[in-house]
Chains A and B, each alone.
Chain A
Amino acid sequence: MNLEFIQKYANLYVHAAGLTLRLALIGILLSILVGFLCSLVQYYKIPVLRKIIGAYIELSRNTPLVVQLFFLYFGLPKLGIRISSETCAIIGLTFLGGSYMSEAFRSGLESIDKIQTESALSLGFSRFQVMRYILLPQAVAISVPAFAANVIFLIKETSVFSIVALADLMYVAKDLMGLYHKTTESLFMLVIGYLVILLPISILATLLERRLRYAGFGNQSTI
């Protein structure tokens, strides 16, 4: 282990981790948005849209991100659609994450007993208010574990971004291995880089899960 080498190139990893985090953050936020909209369509069973969303979810859950990125980055330009690598990475991550987030929210929504919606409606709540004040808070609480698992999963998936020529952690590690033949040091830094990003998130997820475990109200069956 060559400490000088590590000191010299550490800032490359810091930059790369910054890029990974930035793209992951945008991708995850968009995934949550897409997932939320999709789960609403599925929950309210909107006729035609529901079939389309269903097909999208199946398609996205059953294909790997690498293949999706290859198609977006190398395939689509042949149709005249040119997208930068960053946009491509974000689209890919959102395409993948949207379906996972949607399933998480949907199972949260569906685990709330219908009687709550009926009671609220008979008390004079509007459809929107039922969603805003009754369904949403409970559904979010119930889906926190699945949601946190998805966030960690999506950050891990960003490790393939190097195939669309983005200088993320994997890319830097591979570059340093190739240039200086310092495999051990490069890989060590790579592991540290991902641990620094993912360990706090993982611990936070465990704490959140513990805190929100009893947040669902009146559904003994779901807890």
Chain B
Amino acid sequence: MQDLGIRVLFEGNNFARLMGGLGITIQISLLSVLLSIVLGVLFGVFMTLKNPVTRAISRVYLDFIRIMPQLVLLFIVYFGLTRMFGINLSGEVSAVIVFVLWGTAEMGDLVRGALISIPIHQYESSYALGISKKQTYLYIIIPQTLRRLIPLAINLTTRMIKTTSLIVLIGVVEVLKVGQQIIEANRYTAPDAALWIYGTIFFLYFLTCWPISKLAGYLEKKWKN
């Protein structure tokens, strides 16, 4: 019976539909990652401020977002906002909001880590050599920060893509939902389709994330010092 399952996968435009679903997953994660990087850099700088109030605010925000499972945040935004404030958001929009909130916290922490990892003597040496403050940042601090940051930011992208699989639970039609639809549509003619469809989705995720993780690992090794 197993061959029936494979047949369903390539029947009609089923495979194209699955790829379309994957496209939505990737779109949502890329959009969230881009927004997170921009906001995360700002948040990271905000976290390095010495002011105790901003410190407390960023600490509470970071810890809350980190501790709550992303699915809980999705539920709060998707179901909670509607009920509490009458704001109706589509699944896609709530997903982007939640992933940006989460991504900003994670990215901010990475930026903060990269910023404080630059030893103070780098600044001091540069000033001692008569390099201006602007030049110090442009030629010395920022290039080093970026080298530490880029591999981590790429890793965040794979985490974002993996986390995006949760949005099937708030009713967004992405790759898993399309898979479910295909399985349900062929319930009578091919009862074994689930194995192949879910197996395919498993490898689709792997094939999406693996090259990105490899790239991050490669860059991290290359820029180690």
- Chain A residues with CB under 8 Å of chain B are 58-59, 61-64, 66-68, 70-71, 74-79, 152, 156-160, 162-163, 170, 173-174, 177, 183-184, 187, 190-191, 194-195, 198-199, 202
- Chain B residues with CB under 8 Å of chain A are 2, 5, 63, 66-72, 75-76, 79-80, 82-84, 158, 162-166, 168-169, 176, 179, 183, 191-192, 194-199, 201-202, 205-206, 209-210, 213
| Contact across chains for A63 and B162 when beta carbons are under 8 A apart | yes
Interface of B is mostly: helix
- Chain B residues whose CB sits within 8 angstroms of the CB of A68 once the complex forms: 202
- Chain A residues whose CB sits within 8 angstroms of the CB of B72 once the complex forms: 159, 170, 187, 190-191, 194
| Contact across chains for B162 and A75 when beta carbons are under 8 A apart | no
| Contact across chains for A187 and B79 when beta carbons are under 8 A apart | yes
Least CB separation from B183: chain A residue: A74
A75 to chain B, nearest CB (A): 4
Least CB separation from B169: chain A residue: A163
| Contact across chains for B162 and A74 when beta carbons are under 8 A apart | no
| Contact across chains for A75 and B199 when beta carbons are under 8 A apart | yes
A-B contact pairs, 26 of them (CB 8 A): A58-B213, A59-B206, A62-B158, A63-B205, A63-B206, A64-B163, A64-B164, A64-B165, A64-B205, A66-B169, A66-B176, A67-B165, A67-B176, A67-B198, A67-B201, A70-B176, A71-B198, A75-B199, A77-B194, A78-B194, A79-B195, A156-B68, A160-B166, A190-B72, A191-B68, A191-B72
Interface of A is mostly: helix
| Contact across chains for A66 and B165 when beta carbons are under 8 A apart | yes
| Contact across chains for A160 and B198 when beta carbons are under 8 A apart | no
Instruction: Tell me which of A61, A63, A71, A174 has the highest count of chain B C-beta atoms within 10 A of its own C-beta.
Output: A63
CA distance A75 to B183 in the complex (A): 11
Partner of A66, one of B79, B83, B168, B194: B168
CA distance A62 to B66 in the complex (A): 20
Instruction: Tell me which of B70, B80, B197 has the highest count of chain A C-beta atoms within 10 A of its own C-beta.
Output: B80
- Chain B residues whose CB sits within 8 angstroms of the CB of A79 once the complex forms: 2, 195
- Chain B residues whose CB sits within 8 angstroms of the CB of A160 once the complex forms: 71, 166, 169
- Chain A residues whose CB sits within 8 angstroms of the CB of B194 once the complex forms: 74-75, 77-78
- Chain B residues whose CB sits within 8 angstroms of the CB of A163 once the complex forms: 169
| Contact across chains for A63 and B71 when beta carbons are under 8 A apart | no
Given A66-B165, A66-B166, A184-B84, A76 contacting B195 (CB threshold 8 A): yes
- Chain A residues whose CB sits within 8 angstroms of the CB of B168 once the complex forms: 66
B75 to chain A, nearest CB (A): 6
Instruction: Tell me which of B71, B197, B213 has the highest count of chain A C-beta atoms within 10 A of its own C-beta.
Output: B71
Partner of A74, one of B76, B169, B198: B198
B79 to chain A, nearest CB (A): 5
Q: Sorted from nearest, which 3 A-B pairs have the closest CB atoms?
A: A183-B83, A159-B69, A62-B209
| Contact across chains for B76 and A191 when beta carbons are under 8 A apart | yes
A177 to chain B, nearest CB (A): 6
- Chain B residues whose CB sits within 8 angstroms of the CB of A74 once the complex forms: 183, 194, 198
Partner of B75, one of A62, A173, A198: A173
| Contact across chains for B210 and A62 when beta carbons are under 8 A apart | yes
| Contact across chains for A198 and B201 when beta carbons are under 8 A apart | no
CA distance A157 to B2 in the complex (A): 31
